[in-house]
Chains A and B, each alone.
Chain A
């Protein structure tokens, strides 16, 4: 059972705002950065957001991240069909002394 909790799926129509939540605890999201990865079927994960809110070069600005308390979220503003993928959140856990992931959220463009 992943330590970080994500909804298994999320969907929206093209152009819509889609938000993915990531829920944790004081030992992870409550005190450490969140990172987001995007993964298409059969391919390697790709970094989408690092240290809560920063986008690596090449990531469209329709992707944004935030963290508050023991939760974090990834927002896709203006959903596109090419955004259909699985999204994973990740954070360091001080109790486990290791990096943990959420179970992933599959995003569908309706």
Chain B
């Protein structure tokens, strides 16, 4: 089971970027997927989740990114995405994706994320 993030780059404030999370060893169609981030030298921060398609493929986001970031999934290609728009300097971080276990629970507070990828670095700076 492995997750590999890609797409991180240096971008200017206000621009967009799309991150990819390519899974191997399991089918993402069977799982929710999560995105997290960690600013340099800082703690962990949740970005959002996307449910399985059998549960509507709906998404949930942290407040700081709710109106700017979009999580999507391509179950056929076994890839999850994080589309980041209107980027701010505060978005600078190492971004991780994760397989998220739900045990068919509807409430996201019962979910857990394991494993995580190695992360991809996004730097927002002019």
Interface on A for B, CB 8 Å cutoff?
Answer: 2, 32-33, 35, 37, 39, 43-47, 50-51, 56, 88, 90-92, 94, 96-104
Contact = CB atoms under 8 A, between A and B. Distances in A.
Contacts of B44: 37, 39, 45, 88, 90, 101, 104
Nearest to B49: A99
Interface stretch (B8-16, B19-27, B67-75, B114-122): B114-122
21 contacts: A2-B43, A43-B118, A44-B115, A44-B116, A44-B119, A45-B36, A45-B116, A46-B115, A47-B113, A47-B114, A56-B114, A88-B43, A94-B109, A96-B63, A98-B60, A98-B62, A98-B63, A99-B108, A101-B43, A101-B45, A104-B44
Contact of A33 (B36, B63, B109): B109
Given A33-B109, A92-B108, A99-B108, A46 B43 contact: no
A51 B110 contact: yes
A99 B107 CA distance: 11
A91 B109 contact: yes
Interface string B79-123: 000000000000000001000010000011110111111110000
Given A44-B117, A44-B118, A46-B116, A33 B43 contact: no
Given A44-B118, A98-B62, A99-B62, A51 B46 contact: no
Main secondary structure of the interface of B (DSSP, over half): strand
A43 B116 CA distance: 10
Contact of A99 (B46, B118, B119): B46
A94 B61 CA distance: 13
B41 to A, nearest CB: 11
B50 to A, nearest CB: 14
A44 B97 CA distance: 10
A90 B38 CA distance: 14
Contacts of A91: 109
